[in-house]
Amino acid sequence: MFNIQQKFFGLDISDFSIKIVQLKKTKEKFDISACDQIDLKPGIIDNGVIKDEEKVKEKIKKLINNCRFGKITSDNVVACLPETKTFIKLIEIENSNEKDIDSHDSLNSIIIKEAEKHIPLPIQESYIDWQIIEKDKDALTVLIGAAYKKITEQYAKILADLNLTILALEIEEVAIARAILPEERMPNPEKNQGTKVILDIGASRSSFTAYDTNTILFTISLPISGKKMTESIAKSLNISYDEAEKKKIKCNLNSKSKRNIKARSVIIKILSEFANYVKKAIIFHNNHFYDHDPINQILLTGGMSNMPGIASLLAEKLNNQVDIANSLNSINKTEKIIDNYSKNYDQSASFTTAIGLALRNYIIEE
């Protein structure tokens, strides 16, 4: 197991940006001791595949050595793998007498055999990992994870080339859940909190994660992103991508004013399509995880969750409670990522993954 005194930082590598966060443990929560972000031009990373390795290395090096807020003081890294190249699901395995679940090797082969029935990635080309969530006389409940070997090896090689020591390469949604859900920090199996959904809407992709009583149930990628939304605005209004991006960022869905009305209607149309995908994922949950509680809260994170009015619009479309997640749930109240950058909007939602990665070893140990 890791030593919690060991320093490390979280590194979130996405198609259009790389983010870095280092935390410092205080009595109860954490201070952000370093954080920064660097944008990437399109094509450097495409759908999680690093196309220009030298460029990515150069950008990571720059983030580490010239961090604009605070100082990165470690060579140990917890990074995440691209969401579209990984898979995670809670499965149940019948615990029959014939199964030898007491020896680790035998248990491993039972779980891998069962996991293969669920994993949509090519098995020979994937790494599979698992964690027992619950064990009783009738069944084993196991969280299975998988990631493309090629991608995992590419990310590992890049980090090793930078002389970094990799403490973990995580599935992104695990890091996100850790950053925003208090029960991840203080697991409480007794308390039934209902099933929650996390919707992460970023620049290049979005994801749906169902979570119940201290574990992820499953995640699904959804075909909507901040970039696609900007492209649709640009096309509909016949304006440049940059102008469309500005209009999108300024958009307030609660506004009744005629200004920006065209961009607003494009956004509402896309969010309605998005809500339909979310509804389908909720149906999947209800059909496959019917022994879990119904979904009683939807939490939004990722840069798109900054859009004023997005939570109430989705709440109406989904007929459920929708709230903006608190990415700084584990961070001391005085910290705000807006202060670190002095930009005009709070970037906390964009830093959710990086914060979750930076929390990993502390929370695993406690």
Ligand X SMILES: Nc1ncnc2c1ncn2[C@@H]1O[C@H](COP(=O)(O)OP(=O)(O)OP(=O)(O)O)[C@@H](O)[C@H]1O
The footprint of ligand X (CB under 6 A) covers 14-17, 202-205, 225-227, 245, 248-249, 302-304, 306-307, 345, 350
**C-beta of 142 vs 175, nearer to Mg ion:** 175
Q: How far apart are CA 228 and CA 203, in angstroms?
A: 8
| Backbone torsions φ then ψ of 146, nearest 5 degrees | -145, 150
Taking alpha carbons only, the member of 89, 109, 80 closest to residue 21 is 80
**Going by C-beta distance under 8 Å and a sequence separation of 6 or more, which residues neighbour residue 259?**
none
**C-beta of 115 vs 203, nearer to ligand X:** 203
Minimal distance in Å, beta carbon 146 to ligand X?
20
Which residue ranges make up the site for Mg ion (CB under 5 A)?
14, 202
**C-beta of 14 vs 213, nearer to Mg ion:** 14
**C-beta of 43 vs 294, nearer to Mg ion:** 43
Minimal distance in Å, beta carbon 143 to ligand X?
22
Minimal distance in Å, beta carbon 80 to Mg ion?
9
Minimal distance in Å, beta carbon 337 to ligand X?
11
Report the partner that residue 304 touches, choosing among ligand X, Mg ion, none (CB closer than 5 to 8 A by kind).
Answer: ligand X
**C-beta of 14 vs 209, nearer to Mg ion:** 14
Q: How far apart are CA 226 and CA 39, in angstroms?
A: 14
Minimal distance in Å, beta carbon 199 to Mg ion?
12
Q: Which residue is nearest to Mg ion (CB)?
A: 202
In the chain, which ranges are E strands?
9-13, 17-25, 30-39, 45-46, 49-50, 69-70, 76-81, 86-94, 126-135, 139-148, 165-171, 195-201, 206-212, 215-222, 295-301, 322-324
**C-beta of 205 vs 360, nearer to ligand X:** 205
Report the partner that residue 22 touches, choosing among Mg ion, ligand X, none (CB closer than 5 to 8 A by kind).
Answer: none
Q: How far apart are CA 255 and CA 89, in angstroms?
A: 39
Report the partner that residue 248 touches, choosing among ligand X, Mg ion, none (CB closer than 5 to 8 A by kind).
Answer: ligand X
Minimal distance in Å, beta carbon 352 to ligand X?
7
Contact 152, 81 (CB under 8 A): yes
CB atoms within 10 A of CB 268: 14
**C-beta of 90 vs 355, nearer to Mg ion:** 355
Report the partner that residue 176 touches, choosing among ligand X, Mg ion, none (CB closer than 5 to 8 A by kind).
Answer: none
Judged on CB neighbours under 10 Å (0-12, 13-18, 19+), 239 is middle
Minimal distance in Å, beta carbon 79 to Mg ion?
13
Report the partner that residue 48 touches, choosing among Mg ion, ligand X, none (CB closer than 5 to 8 A by kind).
Answer: none
Report the partner that residue 85 touches, choosing among ligand X, Mg ion, none (CB closer than 5 to 8 A by kind).
Answer: none
| Backbone torsions φ then ψ of 267, nearest 5 degrees | -65, -45
CB atoms within 10 A of CB 302: 25
State which amino acid sits at residue 364. Answer: I
